[in-house]
Structure 1
Amino acid sequence: MDREINLIEYLPGVLREVKEFKAFAKAENPEAIKLWEELENVLDDQFVNESTLNGVKRWESILGIKALDTDTLSDRKFRILSRLNEQLPYTYKNLESQLSLLCGENGYKLHLDNSTYELIVKVALTAKKKFAEVGNLLDRVVPCNIVISLILMYNQHSTLSQFTHAHLSQYTHNQLREEVLS
């Protein structure tokens, strides 16, 4: 928000016409505007969605999050919010809602095998960028007596069969397996 600050208006009327005070106000107005902007940033940094880069760095430091070089500011804010939204005690429903927030409603499959104490989480290719974050989430919230199997869901024949051979020949084998095709 651009704030119009004119320090001369804070002086008594008798001093507003003095040449030295006019010059002082003119010289100090930019500094007062800059100070006001920094105060607004400090207030914004208390809220993750409104945070500046400095605020995001502070949140990451508090929560012990390491930012990746490829992360955008919104990626970093999302990671902070997902960490803040973790709630203990752990429940299956709570984990489902956290994974839905992280990967999207159809961005994962979750299965708990009670007989072997194994939690199988499959992350869809559309949420591939969130794979490491899902792993970190599972490490933090899943009880230690449950084995975690985290898997990336690759394209299968049923997905690829809707495309022609000519269309598929444009891709490498790895791209066919690991990329979202359009």
Structure 2
Amino acid sequence: MDSSKNGTPESEARAKGKAAAGAVPPPVAAARVGRGGWKKGVAVFDFLLRLLATGAALAAATTMGTTDQTLPFFTQFFQFQASYDDLPVFTFFVIANAGASAYLVLSLPFSIVCIVRPQAIGPRLLLLVFDTIFVALTTAAASSAAAIVYLAHNGNANANWLAICQQFNHFCQQVSGAVVASFVAALTFIFLVDLSTICLKRN
């Protein structure tokens, strides 16, 4: 007599075991695919943010580094000139933003690795460490330069510092634009740190 036709307890147990074994993998596989897809989307957004930050930091460095204005009323022995390298703060600003843009270019291959392998921890952790460093660097450069730009626009009567932007208007426009671009780069670095932290936390 065929035990499978009679529905014996042994056959029913084997059938339930096979059904249970076949039912488990699909939800687990779907969860893994969903999690990997979410992290891949974050990695793509990370790559785009790095392109944005690269443009902002490079624009800040080049704009500040090419800032120079000489007033038209001058003689051969006496002239009024303003240049970024007259102030150590602006020199630090150029170096910091140039370094940030160089780092961002070098970080793009690691960001691509995170897109190809969303579950990889090493590249993401490395990016998190260096992104945090450049958050501090770009924020310090932008903040210190912003203080000088504020004095250039408004002066300080107590310290007898004159507002030079009424004369060096082109110079002030350029340095103000460079500071804004640097703050954009710093803010983008903050978003990059947040994205890396979320990915590592949910790994």
Per the normalisation by structure 1, the TM-score is 0.29
Structure showing greater relative contact order (alpha-carbon pairs closer than 8 Å, 6 or more residues apart) = 2
**Which has more strand, going by share of residues?**
1
